[in-house]
Chains A and B, each alone.
Chain A
């Protein structure tokens, strides 16, 4: 019996040592320290409560294993007769109560500070939807969508996976250091949850309601997190990436964004002022399709069952252009097919619709122009 126990124990110890040796950094086994005062306070709180648990667990297990070894029948054939002691019961009710009060006090103080959302320097409205984040800087009046950029070839094991596999986006949220940033979270469809472990901020995004959270980041850098509430098929593919810059860099970035918005407006005017050929639109359309559409409808356009219909030979891509425009631009209510008009430019929409109407043997020959999209808006 004991020899089996010993063997199992040594196996477990070896297994744990092996795992540690595989991951030299202790980071892997601890809560992240993070880059805000609050995340560091939360980590200390984690250490406190974890320490309490380890001590309590160790005491219980030492007594228990001592009893297992010393009071086994071969060593201790005559069992004792006692089976009650009010004094002991009172002691082991009171001591845990005191320990719990000791843990509750710092937890309460930290929580009160976490919930103090007042006096923010900057407000970001985060609107979640399946499966992307929409960031709007309320004061500066700019906004953009943030999509996963990990290519499908990496997810499907065709290409080797990159360093930031599944944790990379096209447009990260950009924040300044040292300023108190307030996040307002909400959702367009189902419940999502916006989490950056290094800020210790996790806030559910709930359709029809707005939640508040805040952070103040000390160190510039790129911080990555994920959606943490099951939000449908591509829940795993909805990363959060935040790029923190110094205040000056942040302000110039805001100016750049304003300028870029103006340029995009001009580009849109230029795009709809001329006719585009199918040869120009098809490659552009394929890019848009792979980024935004392929996770559901699949790169080969074959879809996945009734919820994500096949586009190859599909009713809409081979039917009238007007219906196709309507579906892509306005989506289909109460399904994962969302309205793309707010997210994509006229040119991108024209390109992707043209692509869907001519790829995979659909061959309708239709070329949709940005001007058509513009007038459909």
Chain B
């Protein structure tokens, strides 16, 4: 089942060998690397779009882009960040780490693993190619609301639909692979309640993926038939309902935002105990809290739609259900703090990112609680307050967590220590940049600035300029990250097998760098 060196054609040109190795690989570590490289590339592309529209928003008036192109960049920024940057990054980490954390030799379905990855570059090539099509790229926001995306969408919308189908297939196959691996390939003695939290959160995430990606596929298929085959799912003129799209989309969309967060919870739950030199506080309640968050995520989709004219009873239901989510989320934050309490803390780069994650995710979680209050939400909804909220949860929850994970496990992957000093500088530029970018957005939102507008009235000017300056720093800090990772891959101080003195888990029992094949004989877990 495992990739064999014989798969790689010998005696050919080195370039052919190189390509064949990466295209044909079924090794979980190589596929993990492929996912992470793709994710970072798309992260930079979607980030460049953010730089572009922050540049446009620095001053009132139209300076750099047209209104139509602005909408295209906003749409692609959202779609690529969600489906191209965050999800592949987490799948890449899962590929690398889950087999090593549960004592498995590889993923359970290696060829499927290869297939799920290689769908993605084509999906994103297709999505990005829409930028160069006549009529431009999709310009209706990543939420794809009908009828703006159906009747009024540009011709390139069909490429977006097909791209989303491909991404969905990739995600579902990847999720099946992860579930099968976790259920079947755990080392003897590794019971479910002994699994590292990262494995647990990914198991739950994988179930969410299998349940909701087909829902999104259904939504975009209905878009497609509305556009070309004479159906009227989302058109009132034909007996349909534009709101049906929003219900279906957010039934996918809300679990989706937890898909983008839960593995980050798992990463923080690995890093914080290591650098606190103390076991994770409340392991069981962490697992139960994650499961409850996942279950609740299916009954709160309506909180994205409070302004659509819902009946009072539905508004009350979704408000209460949403407020409930604060409880398990709070439990997680309290547990992390309790893990640190009376530990023996050091602040290497992974720990800084994990702490940055906890602090800023808490801010984002609290503003999420504010958004649950329906009467207040009528004022917050679709303003920059929401933009601030979602970036405070997703930037720390997904990006900081992923970067923390990369710093944490990079010595294990490459056998080299990264440059600690540069890593810390990267963290501080990113954390300042993030707060300078997104904190003022709370205020412009409260003052009345709607989101997704290319131009705004004069009272919002100062704070938008602050946001744009912060965004520049945030964008630049990622180049430093790239430099640090490349430098570590090329060499550096040799890492020990243990790497971090406080770290626990099977991945630290194997050599650094991790050999091509690990745990061909399963370890025994006490």
Binding site for B on A (CB under 8 A): 1, 4, 8, 11-12, 15, 19, 22-23, 27-32, 41-42, 45-46, 49-50, 52-53, 56-57, 60-61, 63-64, 67-68, 71-73, 76-85, 88-89, 92-93, 96-97, 100, 103-104, 107-108, 110-112, 114-115, 154-157, 161, 163-167, 189-191, 193, 195, 197, 200-204, 206-209, 211-212, 225-237, 304-307, 334-336
**Bound Cα distance A29, B387 (Å):** 16
Q: Which residues from chain A contact B343 at a C-beta distance below 8 Å?
A: 67, 71, 76, 79-80
Interface size (B, Cβ < 8 Å)?
105
Expressed in whole angstroms, the minimum distance between the Cβ of B212 and any Cβ of chain A is 23
B440 beta carbon closer than 8 Å to chain A: yes
**Bound Cα distance A78, B383 (Å):** 48
| A28-B459, A79-B343 known; A206 vs B71 contact (CB < 8 Å) | no
The answer on a CB contact under 8 Å between B309 and A211 is yes
B48 beta carbon closer than 8 Å to chain A: no
| A226-B450, A233-B139 known; A67 vs B340 contact (CB < 8 Å) | yes
Binding site for A on B (CB under 8 A): 60-63, 66-68, 71, 134-136, 139-141, 145, 147-148, 151-152, 154, 235-237, 241-243, 276-285, 307-309, 312, 315-316, 319-320, 323-324, 326-327, 330-331, 333-334, 337-347, 355, 358-359, 362-363, 366-367, 369-370, 373-376, 378-379, 381-383, 424, 428, 431-432, 435-436, 440, 443, 446-448, 450-459, 462-463, 466
Q: Which residues from chain B contact A103 at a C-beta distance below 8 Å?
A: 323, 373
4 additional contacts (CB under 8 A) given A57-B366, A64-B337: A61-B362, A71-B341, A190-B152, A232-B148
The answer on a CB contact under 8 Å between A67 and B345 is yes
The answer on a CB contact under 8 Å between B327 and A208 is no
| A107-B373, A208-B235, A209-B236 known; A42 vs B379 contact (CB < 8 Å) | yes
**Bound Cα distance A148, B478 (Å):** 40
In the complex, which residue of chain A has the Cβ closest to the Cβ of B445? A31
In the complex, which residue of chain A has the Cβ closest to the Cβ of B377? A202
Q: Which residues from chain A contact B462 at a C-beta distance below 8 Å?
A: 19, 22-23
The answer on a CB contact under 8 Å between B375 and A208 is no
Expressed in whole angstroms, the minimum distance between the Cβ of B423 and any Cβ of chain A is 13
| A19-B466, A110-B375, A234-B67 known; A64 vs B432 contact (CB < 8 Å) | no
Q: Which residues from chain A contact B68 at a C-beta distance below 8 Å?
A: 233, 304-305, 307
Q: Is the interface of B mostly helix, strand, loop or mixed?
A: helix
Partner of B447, one of A28, A88, A207: A28
The 3 A-B pairs with the shortest beta carbon distances in the complex, nearest first, are A208-B236, A211-B309, A236-B453
The answer on a CB contact under 8 Å between B236 and A207 is yes
Partner of A306, one of B71, B135, B278, B457: B135
Q: Which residues from chain B contact A230 at a C-beta distance below 8 Å?
A: 71, 140-141, 145, 148, 452
Q: Which residues from chain B contact A211 at a C-beta distance below 8 Å?
A: 308-309
A-B contact pairs, 21 of them (CB 8 A): A12-B435, A29-B443, A42-B378, A46-B373, A57-B366, A67-B341, A71-B276, A72-B344, A78-B344, A83-B283, A93-B331, A163-B458, A166-B60, A200-B375, A202-B307, A206-B308, A211-B308, A212-B309, A231-B148, A232-B139, A233-B67
The answer on a CB contact under 8 Å between A161 and B458 is yes
**Bound Cα distance A29, B285 (Å):** 38
Partner of A236, one of B136, B140, B347, B454: B454
In the complex, which residue of chain A has the Cβ closest to the Cβ of B363? A57
**Bound Cα distance A304, B136 (Å):** 10
